[in-house]
Structure 1
Amino acid sequence: MKRKILITGGAGFIGSNVADAYLADGYEVVVVDDLSSGSLENLDSRVKFYQLNICSPALEEIFAREKPDVVNHHAAQISVPYSIENPINDAEINLKGFLNVLQCSVKYGVRKVILISSGGAIYGEAEEYPASENCPLNPLSIYAIHKLTSEYYVRFYQYQYNLTYTILRYANVYGPRQVAQSEAGVVSIFIEKLLHNQAPMLYAYPDEPEGMIRDYVYVKDVVRANVAALDKGDNDVFNIGTGQETTTSFLYRTIAWQLGTDLRPIPGPPRKGDLRRSLLDCSKAFKELGWSPLYTLDAGIRETIEFFKNKESLK
């Protein structure tokens, strides 16, 4: 009998790519998504889909009906500036929603929960660089605080109810299906703007005009980590990134070069919650999950540009 995996936020950018990989490996996939940022276009026809907010009491009915073996929790409010401006709403989704998922998981016999956390935010202005999983946690935004709190929640549920978990702390993920909105979608924002011959905003601190330093990891590599986490990494936490630092300016130049444009970006000030730098040490994932990134930035950007070009040609 095939194992059944329920993916919250599974119609979104990353979740839908994970769903495709699980289907390809022969799993039965159920998706719960309120479509606030996800799209039905992202879903394979074999996916069983429920349009629902994870905060809804009706979530229990889905768990009772489907009885999943594994829950992959991707549903989230992902914008750092939004979390600072709207902390209560961020808590509703990222805390209350996740607690609802955990309560249902315990009640209906879920074997394992894969929690998606944020390596790009949870360490703050890290004391070590690149940041390992043992680096002191210093969340400097509401979003990051709630992601850290979620990690404590799932650890409690393991201690109290013996619910197995794996936590994946993502770096800055990019790739096909990414939505060009909020700071989390900088790659898609740059690509879509340049495809329309429009100059995007490039945010930077005055003393660091090249922009913030980030660790950009391609979505297909992230998907492989989610596959590995099904049977490995029990009750542990792993950074999922590249360990390669990239400034926003370098990222922009890479995209502009591949698109053959010399359009200059518009300089802008940092936004609320913007970290100066973020870079992850992912050696633990290699040792214990057998995972490491395969895509270079050039290769990942190339595939992402092709996706957006094809999308434009269909309009």
Structure 2
Amino acid sequence: MKVLVTGGAGFIGSHIVDNLLAKDCAVVAVDDLSTGLAANVNPAARLVRLDIAKDDLGPLFAAEQFDFVIHLAAQTAVPKSLAAPAFDCAVNVLGTVNVLEAARTTGVKRVVFASTAAVYGAATAVPIVEETPVQPFSFYGLSKVTAENYLRLYREVFALDYVILRYANVYGERQGDAGEGGVVSIFTRRIAAGQPLDIFGDGGQTRDFIYAGDVAEANWRALVSPAANAVYNIGTGTEISVSELAALMAKVSGRETAVRRQPPREGDIYRSCLDNRAAVQALSWQPRTPLMEGLAATYRSLAGNPSS
């Protein structure tokens, strides 16, 4: 089985590459390295430097004849989408169309697409189920909704199978400070440097934190499951407030940690937690990494402190 992972040098993408290799897949990672790092990519995979929004993907797809594509390459920062909506659209919408065109013209069997809890906006009921109306607060969320609709129409028009995975807040080793789960990375680096933690608003904002290794396994299940052409939430179903996360990170690190209160951030959703029952049932998947275990592994990796 040959699989292309776009954004494969990124934080989540590199975990997916590792997991695919462990399943004996041949893996090619495409990344423009604007945020990803070549060092993240397992040497058993092939890394190709391409920009999905600007470069011609056709020759690579034609030469490699991929069986499957996992599409993660994206602009993932909500503040950046608000500051530069045209750029966000170019990467997340036009880039996705470029990937889909290359996939459908070269016989790819299925595209697994990385979407986001941000598509739901400020949902009134949590945990959020997949049937909840999408009402994104940001251009990032809007661009992901638009990309999802392209996948649906490509299925109807071109019979290209898809699975859409809407991620909760992903954290883990190799994580950067941007994106939706970046607070874990930010807290880790600040604690390791002896700096206070900034909490925006009252700290009661909740998120559903899921370990990158569990997300990687969900992508594998989405590739091989017969349950295609559907949307699945990929989260733990558990709400953790930002203040609770700060306390857990301090416990993991074993360090005294000060907190600074900051004004609320524009476009910040107050409560977010994903109901994962559909993925558990249809994909035979479930998150297996307890939060404290995942946070400890992340802290050891990012803080460079193996004894913590």
Give the deviation of 1:293 after TM superposition: 1.0
- 1:129 paired residue among 104, 122, 126: 126
Q: SS of 2:113's equivalent?
A: strand
How do 1:253-272 residues align onto structure 2 when only pairs under 5 Å count? 253-272=247-266
8 Å CA contact 1:80, 1:142 repeated in 2: yes
**1:217 aligned onto 2:215:** no
Rounded to whole Å, the distance in 2 between the matches of 1:268 and 1:301 is 24
8 Å CA contact retained: 1:84, 1:272: no
- Structure 2 vs 1, CA of residues 83 and 311 (structure 1 numbering), >3 Å: closer, same or farther? farther
| Residue of structure 2 in register with 1:14 after alignment | 12
Could you give the per-residue CA deviations for residues 211-265 of structure 1, whole angstroms, max 9, x where no partner exists?
A: 3111001111111101101111310110000111000010011001111222212
Q: Which sits farther off after the overlay, 260-269 or 86-95? A: 260-269
TM-score, normalization by structure 2: 0.96
Confirm or deny that 1:240 pairs with 2:234: yes
1:78-99 deviation digits (Å, cap 9, x = unpaired): 0111101110000010001000
Partner of residue 55, structure 2 = 57
| Compared CA separation, residues 4 and 182, structure 1 to 2 (3 A) | closer
- RMSD, aligned α-carbons: 1.4
TM-score normalised per structure 1:
0.94
2:246 to 237, 240, 252: 252
Deviation string, structure 1 residues 73-126 (Cα, Å, up to 9, x no partner): 01010011110111000001000100000111111111100001002x111111
Partner of 2:182: 185
Distance (whole Å) between structure 1 residues aligned to residue 9 and residue 180 of structure 2? 20
Question: What is the distance in 2 between the residues matched to 1:143 and 1:309?
Answer: 29
Q: CA deviation at 1:312?
A: 9.0
2:152 is equivalent to residue 155 of structure 1:
yes
2:196 alignment partner, one of 184, 190, 199: 199
* Match for residue 293 of structure 2 among 281, 295, 299: 299
Structure 1 unaligned regions, length at least 5? none
What is the identity, as a one-letter code, of the residue corresponding to 2:282? Answer: E
Residue 230 of structure 1 aligns to a residue whose secondary structure is: helix
| In structure 2, C-alpha distance between the alignment counterparts of 1:280 and 1:193, rounded to whole Å | 28
Query: What SS class does the counterpart of residue 150 from structure 2 fall into?
Result: helix
Contact kept in structure 1, 2:76 and 2:178, CA below 8 Å: no
Q: Secondary structure at the match of 2:120?
A: coil
TM-superposition CA deviations, 1:270-303 (whole Å, max 9, x none): 2221001101110011111111111121111011
For the residues of structure 1 that align with 2:192 and 2:61, how far apart are their CA atoms?
43
Residue 22 of structure 1 aligns to a residue whose secondary structure is: helix
More deviation in 303-312 or 265-274? Answer: 303-312
Aligned residues: 306
Which residues of structure 2 form unaligned runs of 5+? none
Among 43, 46, 50, the residue aligned to 2:44: 46
The structure 1 segments of at least 4 consecutive aligned residues displaced by more than 4 Å after TM superposition are: none
Secondary structure of 2:21's counterpart equals helix
Compute the displacement of 1:183 (Å): 5.3
Query: Secondary structure at the residue paired with 1:143?
Result: helix
> 2: distance between equivalents of 1:175 and 1:80?
20
Match of 2:143 among 137, 142, 146: 146
- Residue of structure 1 equivalent to 2:22: 24
For 2:170, what is the secondary structure of its paired residue?
Answer: strand
Question: Residue 164 of structure 2 aligns to a residue in which SS?
Answer: strand
